[in-house]
Amino acid sequence: MANTYSLSTPSTVTTSSAPAAEFRAGSSNRAVILEVGIFLGAATASTYGVGRPAAIGVTPTSPVLGLAEDPADAAATAETAVAWGTAPTAPAHFFRHIALPATVGAGVIWTWSEGQELIVPAAGSIVLWNVATNSASVYWYIKWRE
């Protein structure tokens, strides 16, 4: 049975057509995404997409490893990043899109059902993409297995 991990990280990237955050699978373990949630921390209408970047980010400057939901499980190999030496590139298409109103706390939780999870290959990633100029404060979380 695979171990389950979660992580919530804030992003302050507001630039249109730029990554707000990236989820990066470990170099030798694929990640099986169960949930992704996005919530606004500032009252700014915002449009986000979740997709595979054409190229993953290079040299993340502040990666954070996931947290095991069972403290007896091994440490996670997947991580999130919100800053890079070279940012991930835009996805050609998105798995999910959301346009959120200018309301603090507005958000969405996307889930993938058992047997139809979103797979991130080893050393691959998905990005939370700013489709428009977005909120200066967004919180996202991701839940996965590896």
Which tokens in the block code for residue 27?
A: 């170099």
- Please state the separation of Cα 63 from the chain's center in Å: 12
Domains of the chain in start order, with CATH, are 4-145 (2.60.120)
Model pLDDT, residue 114: 85
**pTM for the full model?**
0.93
Answer yes or no: are the C-beta atoms of 36 and 105 closer than 8 Å: no
Strands 46-51 and 96-100: antiparallel
What does the pLDDT read at residue 133?
83
Residue 87 in contact with residue 24, Cβ under 8 Å?
Answer: no
Confidence of residue 1 (pLDDT cuts 50, 70, 90): low
- DSSP sequence for the chain: ---EEEEEEEE----TTEEEEEEE--SS--EEEEEEEEEESSS--EEEEEE--SS--EEESS-EE-EESSTTSPPP--EEES-EEEPPPPPSS-SEEEEE-S-TT-EEEEE--TTSPEEE-TT-EEEEEESSS--S-EEEEEEEE-
pLDDT in tens, 95-146: 999 999 999 999 999 999 988 999 999 999 999 999 998 888 899 999 999 9
How far, in Å, CA of 90 to CA of 82, rounded? 15
pLDDT in tens, 12-58: 888 899 999 999 999 999 999 999 999 999 999 999 999 999 999 99
